Homo-oligomer: A and B are copies of this chain.
Amino acid sequence: MEFASDNASGTAPEIMAALGAINAGYAPSYGSDPAMGRVRALIREVFEAPEAEVYLVNNGTTANSLSLATYCPPWGAVYCHDAAHVEVDECGAPEFFIGGGKMVKVPGADGKMTPESLKAAIEATPHGFVHSVQRAVVTLTNTTEAGTVYSVSELQALCTVAKDFGLPVHLDGARFANALVATNASPAEMSWKAGVDILSFGGTKNGCMGVEAVVLFDPKKAWEFELRRKRGGHLFSKHRYLSAQMEAYLTDGLWLRLARDANAKAAVLEAAILSVPGARPLFPREANMVFAYLPRGTHRRAMAAGAHYYLWPHDETLDGPDDQPVSARFVCSWCTTEAEIEAFATLIRGRD
């Protein structure tokens, strides 16, 4: 009953196999491996972006931080949702890579900015006023931190606001695949066609061992990005092992299959949770994460029985009356099993 995070899941067998296969013999280091050439071609094809530049790094914090630093000067404002990973969960990594910067929080229900809230936040940063940080970049997250999904038209509307102010857009796609299969959009529609300039394309949470691609739809920034990656300690020496993961991930639609599976499991889990008396959603369930209220007593019983997940937000607590609703986050991944969902369902229904 492991619903703590898709980061606690393992590596998909196809990707393990690819690591084994790439291991024989020598390979040029630092990204000159032949597999990286294939990854580049695959990403360009998948995203219908023949000019895009592609770089691999080990995790999402890195992909996000390097992307933002490439578009935000040290005196720049980054517009992000209140709950964005870059604001809440990265120990100031974006500010480290940017060499300053200021995360400007944009409110919005269900983990989503609205065009209005984004516009208001940008306008609140005085333009061309030397005493203020300067408007620099908008960062969106899809799947959001609330487990909801921006539709392509929602993304377009937000990117339009950014473009109206001349601002580039970064998309944190740590769970890009989950958003994609939830909407049936194409990768291009959900990125550059909507107005995204740079994408953190997640692999780790969706079955890889540890790899994310950064896709620069504007290749003019590529060399700067390479230098920032090296200087941040994020250029792998035995790079073939990043390439092999990403290559297998993108081959034969593995990445989409894994995401579809995770989303489907979450739908089943959601149904089980909401069938508990007193349960109700915290956010709409649209991808692989369920945010819902359960009675505190139910949480206590579930956790005591070994279920792993987080109360959400972090200031929720098990202390208090049994029947009070307490919200929590439950994450499914490609390796969530029906059996563990069923076991959990049984547990929270309180039947033995």
Residues of A within 8 A of B (CB): 2, 4-5, 7-11, 16, 19-20, 23-30, 57-62, 65-66, 73-75, 88-93, 95-97, 99-103, 123-124, 126, 130-134, 204-205, 209-210, 224, 226-228, 230-238, 241, 308, 314-315, 335
A205 to chain B, nearest CB (A): 8
14 A-B pairs (CB sep. < 8 Å): A10-B25, A30-B130, A57-B233, A59-B236, A60-B237, A61-B235, A74-B99, A75-B231, A91-B131, A91-B132, A96-B99, A96-B231, A130-B230, A131-B230
- The interface residues of chain B lying within 8 Å CB-to-CB of A131 are 30, 88-91, 230
Say whether chain A's binding surface is mostly helix, strand, loop, or mixed: loop
- The interface residues of chain B lying within 8 Å CB-to-CB of A89 are 131-132
Which residue of B has the minimal Cβ distance to A95?
A: B100
- Contact check, B11 vs A26: say whether CB atoms are below 8 A apart: no
Q: A59 contacts which of B7, B16, B237 (Cβ < 8 Å)?
A: B237
- The interface residues of chain B lying within 8 Å CB-to-CB of A95 are 74, 95, 100-102
Number of copies: 4
Which residue of B has the minimal Cβ distance to A242?
A: B210
Q: State A6–B176 Cα separation when bound (angstroms).
A: 36
- The interface residues of chain B lying within 8 Å CB-to-CB of A4 are 26, 28
- The interface residues of chain B lying within 8 Å CB-to-CB of A228 are 75
Q: State A10–B205 Cα separation when bound (angstroms).
A: 25
- By CB atoms of chain B within 10 A, which of A61, A96, A97 has the most? A96
- The interface residues of chain B lying within 8 Å CB-to-CB of A93 are 230-233
- The interface residues of chain B lying within 8 Å CB-to-CB of A102 are 92, 95, 103
Q: State A227–B28 Cα separation when bound (angstroms).
A: 32
Q: State A8–B151 Cα separation when bound (angstroms).
A: 43
- The interface residues of chain B lying within 8 Å CB-to-CB of A233 are 57-59, 61-62, 65-66, 90, 93, 97, 232, 234
In the complex with contacts A92-B231, A93-B232, A7-B237 CB distance below 8 A: yes
Which residue of B has the minimal Cβ distance to A62?
A: B233
- The interface residues of chain B lying within 8 Å CB-to-CB of A61 are 230, 233, 235
Q: A133 contacts which of B26, B58, B65, B91 (Cβ < 8 Å)?
A: B91
- The interface residues of chain B lying within 8 Å CB-to-CB of A7 are 29-30, 237-238
